[in-house]
Structure 1
Amino acid sequence: MSLWHKIPNKRKLELAEMYRRGDDLTPYETECGMKAYLITREVKFLVYYQDMFAASGTDDPRFNSRHLFPTPPNAKIYDDQLEIDSDDVIVIGDIEIPDHSRNYLLHVLYLAMAQNIKTLVIAGDFIATDMSALSSWTTTWRTGDLNYEQVIQVMNGILATLAQWFDNIYIISGNHDDRIARATDGHLHLGMFLRSSTVVYSRYAHLWINTSRGDVKISHPKNFSGNPIVLGQKLYNVEPRKAHHIVAHCHRQQAGWSPDGRYEIHGLGMGRDVKRTKYRSQSVTAHNEWDLSFHMILNAYHYPMGIKSVDWDLWLGPFKTSLDKGIAREPICENER
């Protein structure tokens, strides 16, 4: 039985160097507990594999490390998440068309105009996809809901309006947006239905913003929490790239700090109208109330913008009159009546 495995690695490498020099390995039989020809056989294998991994410049595939463990040439590399540079951004999320709040979107648009912010990030769940064909929720209340095609038409109309002001609109994927992809085994996704060239869609559930006061990670996590700050702190802890965090999906507006006290953590809130949300209005639950809120990054500083908790006269200036007229105006489409 070979005792080669009991020899320390350092000594094996020394024997390999002796073999390369042409030294006789017979004097080492007693030390190794092996005959010289057995030592030579093991050392030859060691030298062979040393050359295989070291001589990467040769064209011989046996000794070229470029030929080792090949991957398919068309294999997807998941390193193309969105990353943008800006100190001025409006972040909205969980709009969930067609149950969106028109009041919410008016506040978003007029604040962007008042503060001259031209970049918009939609942090997932832009559409609701609550129709029975795409949702696992059992239909118990027939209400004549819109089908997917009609929802897409409403979505593109809203994007067309937003694109009249915003130069850049970015959308990341949320759990609602993914329902069409899950229903079609990934063959279809929301980005295929976007008709505005202004919009950039990412199938990832997060993106990065590089600001002059540090990076910002906006995410639509799979986890739902009634306390998005705690969830955001957990996300911060496992993320090697330290940054401010803005957390969507939880429908709560909150503000806090990372566990080390260095970065801000924000719960985004949402833009869905509770009165239009069947599953929320129909049932009685112990869930926290949802917060109609979005987020503004202005000069790289963070401002949670709760619809009920902000002095809009201060932030909107002369645009407050336009907002008031828009809110008081009659609904513009049948499903808003």
Structure 2
Amino acid sequence: SVMVLGDVEVPFHSTDTLEMACALARKYELDTLIINGDLIALDCFSTWVRNTAYKLTFKNEIEPTLEILKIFLNIFKQVYIITGNHERRLARKLDGEITIGEFFSNIAGVTFSEYSYCVLNSSGKEILVCHQDNYSKQPLAVARELASIYHKNVIAGHTHHLAQGYDKSGRYWVVDGGCCRDVKYTEYKSIRVNTFPKWNNGVVMVINGSPFLVDECNADFWLQ
């Protein structure tokens, strides 16, 4: 049994969402965690964010990220980290001389991938877990396209939507995996008015090949 969560973007994470994830993992004895991209924000390498909003340093971001990984390793036997667009900020800043994986790859129990996806096998079902480049304001639009291209069930990150459905063929289930970033710490989101959908915090449990989405609305049911 596996938990998939993503778009944590430490240090701007939602503590409530991560505590919920840990409680679910304990209750349902989930032994594997897949972090589906954007574990760390690396907003310190975003010129607008660094200069205008937070005045972050790399130390401000990497230290709490490593602490959160320690907490996860007390709960999960194995943690897999997929690369998201935020992780690439360090490599882009340093012209590829170093990647954020240098800080994670030597931690026992942690496997870091420079790839933006992995394939999870659960009860004979193949599940594409990915932090794709594409975004749509329409929930599940990207996940459905991915399912039609790769012919797999899909858990998609990056969109910050939390939703579940099927692809057009009805053969594959598709999921938008939500996010774990707290919008109140995100000035560029909270100070603007636009037509982009609100972010949905939540996580996905994969048990016997089936996805179960949990957020603040149904957490009490799952944890009772």
- Normalised to the residue count of structure 2, the TM-score between the two structures is 0.94
Distance 2:159 2:48 in 1: 18
Summarize deviations over 1:174-233 as a string: whole Å, max 9, x none.
001100011112111111012521110000000010111410000101111112411111
Return structure 1 stretches of 4+ with deviation > 4 angstroms. Answer: none
Structure 2 residue 184 is the aligned partner of structure 1 residue 275: yes
Contact 2:147–2:172 (8 Å) recurs in 1:
no
1:1-80 equivalent positions in 2, closer than 5 A:
none
Does structure 1 residue 316 correspond to structure 2 residue 200?
no
Instruction: With a CA cutoff of 8 Å and minimum separation of 6, indicate the structure with the bigger relative contact order.
Output: 2
1:213–1:301 contact (8 Å) kept in structure 2: no
- Give CA deviations for 1:130-182 in whole Å, capped at 9, x if unaligned: 12xx2254656344x43112211110000001101100100000001100011
Whether 1:216 aligns to 2:127 is yes
- After superposition, residues 1-337 of structure 1 pair within 5 angstroms as 88-131=1-44, 134-135=45-46, 137=48, 141-143=52-54, 145-194=55-104, 196-239=107-150, 242-307=151-216, 309-312=217-220, 314-317=221-224
Cα-to-partner distance string for 1:40-91 (whole Å, 9 max, x where unaligned) = xxxxxxxxxxxxxxxxxxxxxxxxxxxxxxxxxxxxxxxxxxxxxxxx1000
**Distance in 2, Cα, partners of 1:139 & 1:93:** 23
The structure where strand makes up a greater share of residues is 2
- Is the Cα–Cα contact under 8 Å of residues 160 and 196 in structure 1 kept in the other structure? no
Distance in structure 1 (CA, Å) of the matches to 2:53 and 2:121: 46
Alignment check: 8 A CA contact 1:159 1:196 kept: no
Distance in 1 of aligned mates of 2:215 and 2:208: 19
- Structure 2 counterpart of 1:224, which letter? Y
Larger Rg: 1
Helix, strand or coil for the counterpart of 2:68?
helix
Residue aligned with 2:90, SS? helix
Deviation string 1:231-260 (CA, Å, 9 cap, x unpaired) is: 111112222xx2110010000111111111
Which amino acid in 1 is paired with 2:209? Answer: A
State the distance in 2 between where 1:165 and 1:211 align: 20
C-alpha distance in 2 between matches for 1:248 and 1:124: 7
State the Cα distance separating 1:304 from its structure 2 match. 0.9
Contact persistence 2:11–2:60 (CA under 8 A): no
Tell me the SS of whatever aligns to 1:255: strand
| Number of corresponding residues | 223
Q: What is the CA RMSD across the aligned residues, in angstroms? A: 1.5
2:183 and 2:117 map into 1 onto residues whose CA distance is 25
Which amino acid is the alignment partner of residue 298 of structure 1? I
Identity %: 31
Specify every segment of 5 or more residues in structure 1 that has no aligned partner in the other structure, as ranges: 1-87, 318-337
Residues 1:222 and 1:136: Cα distance change in structure 2 (over 3 Å): farther
Opposite residue 120 of structure 1, the aligned amino acid is L
Gaps of 5+ in 2: none
Q: Distance in 1 between matches of 2:49 and 2:19?
A: 33
Distance in 2 of aligned mates of 1:286 and 1:137: 21
The normalised TM-score by structure 1 is 0.64
Contact 1:163 1:198 in 2 (8 A): yes
